[in-house]
A and B are shown apart, each in its own frame.
Chain A
């Protein structure tokens, strides 16, 4: 079965610094990979998705992710953190019957 692992349940960065949130998928290449963002007491919002059309995927709010088959990774990055980026981020992968989510990474942005 498909699965994803998010490394680091909490990440803190200074405002203006690079954001790097890590996600590794299980060994079989998935057809779809996703990153979601969740603000407090709200549902999840899709940031970006990988569909095998391109390895570098650009999303909303300046985020992007690169699919690396050799590393089984799909890390999320943003060049310069903004205070409004503080939230919880989830990596997810599609399966035949379901979507599988990582345990989430809480991003704190320090002014």
Chain B
């Protein structure tokens, strides 16, 4: 079945460590996104990528990094520079029509907790 797979579902990090969240899609979508979700704040965009080897910062990119070496994969690294990383992270993908993005399909999320 086509879809988006995020792993792991739960992740614990010690302060000062970098961690990488995995996101893989087999929908042949051009665009991929990372969102952070905190209670009462909706979805905030961290990074997005429209094509391979290109990505753009979103609203809250500080302390995060991404890569897009393959169309199917868009991993997110939460660095030690991110001061408050405990949150629910959502990866999504969508088709690019040439002018607009169509609906996004989401993974099941990764809950990151700093211990």
Within 8 Å CB of A32, what residues of B? 100-103
Nearest CB of chain A from residue B65's CB, rounded to whole Å: 19
Residue of A nearest to B107 (CB): A43
A98–B103 Cα gap in the complex (Å)?
10
Asked whether A41 and B111 contact (CB < 8 A) given A32-B102, A102-B42, the answer is yes
Contact across chains for A99 and B33 when beta carbons are under 8 A apart? yes
Interface of A is mostly: loop
Which DSSP category, helix, strand, loop or mixed, fits chain B's interface?
strand
Please provide the chain A residues from 76 to 111 with a CB less than 8 Å away from any CB of chain B in the complex: 90, 92, 94-99, 101-104
Q: Which residue of B lies closest to A49 (CB)?
A: B103
Contact with A along B103-115 (1 / 0, CB 8 A): 1111111010000
Contact flag A43-B108 (CB < 8 Å), given A34-B103, A97-B56: yes
Hey, what's the 0/1 contact readout for A17-40 against B, CB within 8 Å counting as 1?
000000000000001101010000
The CA-CA distance from A82 to B65 in the complex, in Å, is 41
- Does chain B have a CB within 8 A of A45? yes
Interface size on A, residues (CB 8 A): 24
Is A98 touching B109 in the complex (CB atoms < 8 A)?
no
Of A42, A45, A98, A103, the residue contacting B42 (CB under 8 A) is A103
Query: For B58, B102, B104, B106, which residue has the most chain A Cβ atoms within 10 angstroms?
Result: B104
Q: Does B84 contact A (CB under 8 A)?
A: no
Nearest CB in chain A: distance from B88 CB, A? 8
Contact B101 A99 (CB under 8 A): yes
The contact of A43 among B42, B48, B58, B106, by CB within 8 Å, is B106
User: Looking across the interface, which residue of chain B has its beta carbon closest to that of A48?
Assistant: B103
In the complex, what residues of A have CB within 8 A of residue B94's CB? 99
Interface membership of B25, Cβ < 8 A: no
Interface residue ranges of B53-110 to A (CB < 8 Å)? 56, 58, 88, 90, 92, 94, 99-109
A56 at the interface (CB under 8 A from B): no
Q: Give 7 nearest A-B pairs by CB, closest first.
A: A43-B106, A103-B42, A44-B106, A101-B43, A43-B108, A104-B42, A94-B100
